[in-house]
Amino acid sequence: MEIDGLDRQIVHALRIDGRAGYREIGALLGVSDQTVARRYRRLREGAGVRVVGLPNPIRLGYESWMLRLHSRPDMAATLAEALARRGDTGWVSLFSGGTEISCLVQVPAHADRETLLLQKLPRTPGLISVSAHCLIHHYVGGAVGPDRRDDYLTPEQTAALSADVPAPGSPAPPERLADGDAALMEALARDGRAGFAELAAATGWPESTVRRRMRDLRRSGILYYDVEVRPQTFGFRAPVLLWVTVAPARLATVGAALAGHDEVVFAAATTGATNLVATVVCRDMAAFYRYLTERISGLDGVDRVESAPLLRHVKQLGAVATQR
């Protein structure tokens, strides 16, 4: 489908505030609320754009782990789809010839890591190897804030939408979800813009309780919103996962540098044989080559880079989307 400037502005606005009203966005962009609503429905149906509401693992004190799984080519899709159905996986993707799967798993810090990370893996004879890498510091993406790719709103428009959005990744003591929050979070992971009546039905709460709880979760930083997109629809045909080995003394500097690159949509320091992981999205492989040779190569402390082209997202940010 064709993506124009207004579409890009709407997506940028939703990245800033996923539940901003159509009227608010329309007033900001100089169009009617009906136009914004119609464009958003079109983007959902044709470009895979979806707002999701997610628990902030940093504010909850959760650990985030990247799992790298290698399987037989004929079993990779089945294994990836089984992982995508798990409630604790943030995203699941197929890479490199269809034999490598990477997924993000979030677990409470006090949990039994071995049971959650390894024993709960789908049982399949096609699974060849697994490695687990704890994300020990987030530089960009997800709960710590959006990447730099969106620049379709003016600074004034961005400031207007950001006025009531709490700063992500607050260093305050960890918060906790209440016992009744699970159904609300599950519904928001399917659709972060679900109406209050729909959320009330999902939780069994009155709409007033849903509004109040969402407001409290948002203000505390426990709940944040993000936007799923298909990069190819927006003209980016070369998403690549990088596993980078960096001299420890330069890790913070390199991570901060990557956070400032327009090509980088996610970056974090990790445990393991490599100590930094990043998702890079370029226009094409020629642009990715230039990124490697002109930007990554110029970073002092980078010793080794392993790249894995993305074949397919099986699951992105929230729950596995269902057909409407």
Interval 223-278: pLDDT, tens: 999 998 888 888 889 999 999 999 999 999 999 999 999 899 999 999 999 999 99
- Whether 247 is in a domain gets the answer yes
**Cα 162 from chain centroid?**
19
Q: For 96, phi and psi rounded to 5 degrees?
A: 45, 75
The residues of the chain scoring below 50 in pLDDT are 169-170, 322-324
pLDDT for res 320: 62
At 75 the three-state DSSP class reads coil
Indicate which CATH number applies to the domain containing 306.
3.30.70.920
pLDDT for res 29: 96
- Whether 43 is in a domain gets the answer no
Cα angle for residues 304, 305, 309 (degrees, 5° grid):
165
> Based on the structure, what is the number of domains in the chain?
1
Helices (H), the chain: 5-16, 22-29, 33-47, 57-60, 76-84, 113-114, 155-162, 181-190, 196-203, 207-220, 251-259, 285-290
CB 190 within 8 A of CB 235: no
d(CA 88, CA 228): 17
pTM: 0.85
d(CA 10, CA 249): 40
Q: Quick one: CA dihedral 160, 258, 272, 311, positive or negative? A: positive
Secondary structure string (H, E, C) spanning 223-277: EEEEEECCHHHHCCCEEEEEEEEECHHHHHHHHHHHHCCCCEEEEEEECCCCCEE
Selection from 69, 98, 64, 103 nearest residue 85 by Cα: 103
pLDDT for res 148: 59
Burial of 223 from C-beta contacts in 10 A (0-12 / 13-18 / 19+): buried
Range of the domain at 299: 140-148+236-310
- Whether 106 is in a domain gets the answer no
- Whether 62 is in a domain gets the answer no
- Whether 123 is in a domain gets the answer no
- Whether 262 is in a domain gets the answer yes
Of the chain, the end-to-end C-alpha distance in Å amounts to 19
pLDDT for res 230: 85
Cα angle for residues 77, 91, 94 (degrees, 5° grid):
35
- Whether 160 is in a domain gets the answer no
Burial of 101 from C-beta contacts in 10 A (0-12 / 13-18 / 19+): buried
pLDDT for res 324: 37
pLDDT for res 323: 40
- Whether 127 is in a domain gets the answer no
